[in-house]
Structure 1
């Protein structure tokens, strides 16, 4: 499928938490073989990676991570956090992030879903966050603006983030998944929506794409709860990152889309075993959501880096006294901005 941009404007970032990527890579070969891939090996993974030939890729391991970022930073790239290192070292405008336990999905007609093409379509067509269009994304084929939609808002804004969905394992937290152990998501909803401005959402790095030039620094690996594991039910890190980037998109006048494309997500982890680890995060959301809902950034913050600094300062001021974890998170956010400016913003790839 032809894209509205050049193939060399895209990096596909894969966080490798499994050592044998053979079946994963072969399943994605019809789609991924056109693009440059960044594979970041989980620093805690001891086994050597097994990757089939025929792909244009760079692999980053623990030694590469230490060489690029050093060992003094508060940023930890283990587990799912390793994907953020890929965001840091990429030099492409668009990044597609897919986890290594995801396979291509099929649509209602049985055809393979080209997740890259759909993400790029989402990012290269405007978003409409300031007035909700009840006929889904008006820039998709077969849709348009509904009656009463203000013509002054129909040009939309730049879409900076595209959040895909997945089949099979539903995006539940551990308590819900434990109550519905057999439930699986099998519905293919052929729709894309712009998330309204000032509305939060739990973004996950499992299947996303973003414009690195405008929001790259706003996706950050900074919140780490004590005792968290590596499975999807346990980590609050990408949820925190998602709320940060959504607030920042709202402030900068950028859009976020959700819906297509789908991927197929394999079962992973044990919801019952994750309950104890995740409970701290479940409670934390009751304080974090009101904080982000009331957060307003100053007009002087005109870049993603500026905005992350402002969010970090607000976290310190309003949440830091409630739990030392928030103070650590704020410091990590400031470290991330410094790291992005020193590594992520350079003109050449750190792996070159």
Structure 2
């Protein structure tokens, strides 16, 4: 079997949600071993064309899946993601693997999992690998001197976006049902749009950042925020329930309040005032996006919300302020991190580098 659009369409038609996977495994209708092996098989088939998964953990994942089935057989309490294969962006620390973010001198394997990886494991998730990023996670494509270029599964000549492009490409291709990414200036949102999946950038400091290699250190106006990625919106909600749970062996980031994910099901929005912006006056959306915004506004109004259309002022000035803040140190931290590494020529296009 060769990877291509027909393969994507076939997988799309029979791909269960993460919630469905967990139910099937918990009920014994499917085994964790079969589930993990199936996603590994799809990853191997797609990855020759995509180069999305750059740090495979297949054998370890298979062993963990067998143990997950044994735990279910013993009647042990199962986590929300028991037996579910998960991938994470290359910047997240996974014991025994490097977190290079495309820097050629950062190839040493790490000794322990990061906080969010521990939370995923505590919920029963099985990490099958890590996915590609651009160097320093500062570009809207996913290519670097360590791992090379990732391609878009819908068109191999095009980019999956960045910086969480490897994750988006693999999920879209059916190689992973759930992923962990990070976003500073669109690094979850852009790849999800490019590849046709869903992602969430939570509010800054909503999830802990300990245990991931970051960039732009000291920039409190710009916070690299972890968030989930998946084929379905309901899977993002399930992931956030897991990622916001404190575990005994995963200390909170001191910047993050220990606030559990709320149960919002059944909450009424009647009387809630909602501002809707179809166009920010700077980046004009294509007609399809404007239509979706209007449809979302209509849905909110039908549920009793008070919807008000507004046009923001000063967007151009805000964009200029954003760029000024992004280069507030004149590129000093980025240059420090790039020192001693082969440098992606595209980074040199940034004025502050």
TM-score of the superposed pair, with normalisation by structure 2: 0.28
Greater strand share, 1 or 2?
Answer: 1
With a CA cutoff of 8 Å and minimum separation of 6, indicate the structure with the bigger relative contact order: 1
TM superposition score normalised by structure 1: 0.28
Structure ID, larger Rg: 2
